[in-house]
């Protein structure tokens, strides 16, 4: 019998205090992806939107590069945000404790939108909606950086089997709200790039990877 999927917020709330240590061991490439991300943020950046900021692992290198940058971070898990606040009490951060699919991302247009290790729980349809929304939030020339668990070797059968396992788990436990359960459904890098172009991004390139941890840079 498939294991009952854990609710997303509870999963991360329960692990918030050990998250950083575990994540740096579990993510392919460890700290390197978090550090490299800052390389792709232009020095003239004033405002960043971090979709699912968690404890803010990706923000350390960004603040080292741009100490006064304003960051808006959205995350579902209160305890993850509490860890982030402790680490960056002296930084210019606005936090929104909400589901980012439903939350208002605010009136601001951002120079850069980032998201790290968040999108591998969504379907292609949900992702396209998110990418279209990100596109609207950026000026021409603005950047979207997505570093996530993707199928690095582009084997579509793996993506299909994750999607199948997700459906089986949801059906077995009569769950219908997919993105609020901690179930992995990574897509291939090819599909991710295709969705970003479909959302309107003119230039999409893979700028870093370590096995299944892949960073895509999309420019409007």
**Applying CB under 6 A, which residues contact ligand SAM?**
8, 12, 23, 52-54, 57-58, 74-77, 80, 99-101, 116-118, 179
Q: Shortest approach of ligand SAM to residue 116 CB, angstroms?
A: 4
Phi, psi of 140 (to 5 degrees): -60, 130
Shorter beta-carbon distance to ligand SAM: residue 62 or 218: 62
Q: Which residue is nearest to ligand SAM (CB)?
A: 54
Q: 3-state class of 145 per DSSP?
A: strand
Q: Shortest approach of ligand SAM to residue 11 CB, angstroms?
A: 8
Q: Shortest approach of ligand SAM to residue 195 CB, angstroms?
A: 17
Q: Shortest approach of ligand SAM to residue 101 CB, angstroms?
A: 5
Q: Shortest approach of ligand SAM to residue 9 CB, angstroms?
A: 6
**Please, what's the b/e burial string for 161-191 (b: 16 or more CB within 10 A of its CB; e: otherwise)?**
ebbeebeebbeeeebeebbbbebebbbbbeb
Shorter beta-carbon distance to ligand SAM: residue 1 or 18: 18
How many whole angstroms separate alpha carbon 132 and alpha carbon 198? Answer: 8
CB atoms within 10 A of CB 62: 23
Shorter beta-carbon distance to ligand SAM: residue 94 or 156: 94
Shorter beta-carbon distance to ligand SAM: residue 54 or 142: 54
Shorter beta-carbon distance to ligand SAM: residue 23 or 188: 23
């Amino acid at each position: 019998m498939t294991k009952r999927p854990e609710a997303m917020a509870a999963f991360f709330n329960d692990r918030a205090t050990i998250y950083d240590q575990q994540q740096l061991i579990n993510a392919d490439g460890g700290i390197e992806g978090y550090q490299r991300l800052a390389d792709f943020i232009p020095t003239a950046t004033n405002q960043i939107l971090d979709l699912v900021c968690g404890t803010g692992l990706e923000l350390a290198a960004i603040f080292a590069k741009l100490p006064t940058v304003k960051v808006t971070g959205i995350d579902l898990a209160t305890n993850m945000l509490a860890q982030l606040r402790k680490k960056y009490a002296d930084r210019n951060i606005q936090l929104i404790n909400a589901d980012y699919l439903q939350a208002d991302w605010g009136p601001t247009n951002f120079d850069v939108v980032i998201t790290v290790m968040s999108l591998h729980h969504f379907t292609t349809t949900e992702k396209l909606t998110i990418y279209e929304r990100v596109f609207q939030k950026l000026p021409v020339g603005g950047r979207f950086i997505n570093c996530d668990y993707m199928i690095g070797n582009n084997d579509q059968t793996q993506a299909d089997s994750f999607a199948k396992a997700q459906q089986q788990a949801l059906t077995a436990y009569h769950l219908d709200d997919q993105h609020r359960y901690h179930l992995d459904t990574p897509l291939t890098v090819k599909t991710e790039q295709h969705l970003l172009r479909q959302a309107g991004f003119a230039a999409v390139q893979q700028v870093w990877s370590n096995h299944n941890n892949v960073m895509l840079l999309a420019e409007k």
